[in-house]
Structure 1
Amino acid sequence: MRWSRETLAGRLMLGQTIVLLASILTAGLVASTVGPQIFHDHLVESGHAKNSAELVHVERAYREASALALGVALLISLACAILVSWLVSRRLRRALHDLTQAARQLSSGHYTRRVPTVGGGSELDTFAAAFNSMAGRLEDVEATRRRLLSDLAHELRTPIATLSAYHEGLVDGVIELDVDTRAVLTAQTDRLARLAEDIDDVSRAEEGRLRLELRPHRVADLVAMAADSARASYTDKGVSLVADLDLNAPTTVGVDADRVGQALGNLLTNALRHTPEGGQVSISARPERDEVVITITDTGEGISPAQLPHIFERFYRGDSARDRNRSGSGIGLTISKAIIEAHGGTITAHSSGHGHGATFAVLLPRRRL
């Protein structure tokens, strides 16, 4: 750190010093020119002769005493002002230096760097708080990016390893291209295709590139179609799916039916995945002011408080040891959130903890087209 006219603190102190010197010179000039004349006029008015030796002596004493007092006072004021300016500039300089160093470290990838509050004023404290908030968000984004790359590599590794093994087996003649082999190769290829399509859907939705064909649809019809599409999977697992709907309700929303159906289907699939045999999942819809609330509630595993803030992140899984085939790609909830938000709505999750089930609420605006 260095003091110079190139730094903000140096310029501030230099400017304050110039103002103080100008003020001192102005005060001295005014006192030396106006003061003696006023003092002389008062002496004459009090009865002293204009050119008497006594009057000259008194005026000289006044000028010398005034000059001495003014000089001492101005020197002390100048010293105090310079000291205060130096202290203020030093504190400001320290705060700006900390912010600059933190910004440099942050730009170098050190996302854990934070700026302490040094008392440089409410503006700098607010700026430091905003900087720390930004650094925290960047740290979260970086952690998410690393986890995404790790999980994406894991998702790709299994089908690629399977395809590679079968390819080598076919080349070496160890494996025959029969019906079972074709089924395995097709399944793994489809898995890779679904993963690529899911990632593309999320990226397009989050970047605002998701094309929506908005048309008025009855909410009851949208929910009924989603429930009917998932009912076969529920029957196979032995989980009850209850649709609590008023099929005659006239409530409509302006949405892309296919995309909303995809979002609701992902939520129903997620609920089925985490609900054991004999459990129940219910889906319902109700109007609420200018919105429509679609609720999906299950009696399954539930979600811990530590997991709730992350369940809509890409590839997030509460239990990393969970079987991949059972837990899917970990991107279904992310897609649902992106689709609902593209419609101007919101999606939230609630759970009282493990063993208490979970509730997902989708809020869609009741927009007229």
Structure 2
Amino acid sequence: MTVPLSAPDDAAGIASRALLRATLDAVPDAVIVVGADGRIDLANRQVLSVFGYEPAELEGRPMEVLVPQRSRARHPRIRSSYTRRPMGLLQLAAVRKGGQEFAAEISLAPIPDSTSPTPRTVATVRDITERIELEQESDRMREELLATVTHELRTPLTSILGYHEMMEDLAPEDLSPEARRMLEAIGRNARREYRLVSDLLTVAVGNLSQITLTTGPVELSALLDEAVAEHAAGARAKRITLAHVPDNDVLTATTAIHGDHDRLLQVLDNLIGNAVKFTPEGGTVSVGCQLLSESVVVTVTDTGPGIPVAEQERVFDRLYRGQSSVASHKPGAGLGLSIVKAIVDAHHGSVSLTSTDAGTTALLQLPR
């Protein structure tokens, strides 16, 4: 049964409207009911703390009084195009009684009315100014921490690389072949770690476009095998089946693309690492590769819980972490995928993902 907002002035009508007002007043957010003509029919008592108006001051006035001045002229046209379906968590600008703008989170929903063929609209409004300020302060502190930590990490790495170069200059008889191989591994991994730390510093100061490449021929099959091998132990520990499965027979041991081997390994390391991290025990992570006429496509597919649609467009944003990662206390600072995108962009490629409840597929496309 619907309760008409313009109830007759009999005992039942007065009681119905009083019940409706009491119900709205119990909602912790500001609630505004707007008629088809754009005027406010009803407002709860929380509008005082959010907008600075008493409910009676708003009722009967056009809702544009709560819209910033710059948007008021076009707002009736926008309002009239509302499709009368629920719309949740829109972040919009609103204005208080004194003219001060603030960031608001608004949900819209139609409500039927037995006295009118056109549904009214109920808007739930929350002031998120404090939340945005806290998020900005959190980002600032996290970036400062990243900058400090990465500077501290680069100092010992610089020393390690310096001693590595000195040992490389030793005469052949001073180091056994086995020690020489170990020294090469130390140098390779130290240089890789140094570049990763430099990337973290780049992310911290927001200069992702400054990612640099050292390009040359990169054997694709060997690159994929190397990336998969990096995560074999972690996959085994979770009983996850991790495999490199080319999608066609054209890929050979000598198939090469032009790129930066270490940077591309960094990309694959991140994509495969994420897949293993978010796939539950007993699941599957597969790495596929397909050669097209002008590009190569690498896919990393997992059987994890998937990524909510609302988060899929933000996963490559700097410092962004999904709600599921935060809730499950998964390690990470929201840096990896933003660096991935920067490296892929520098290669003139693209990276994207698709996700459902059955799992997620990351798709990396690079020019040949």
TM-score by length of 2: 0.47
Give TM-score, length-normalised by structure 1: 0.47
Q: Which has the larger radius of gyration?
A: 1
Q: Quick check: which one's strand share is greater?
A: 2
- Which of 1 and 2 has higher RCO (CA within 8 Å, sep 6+)? 1
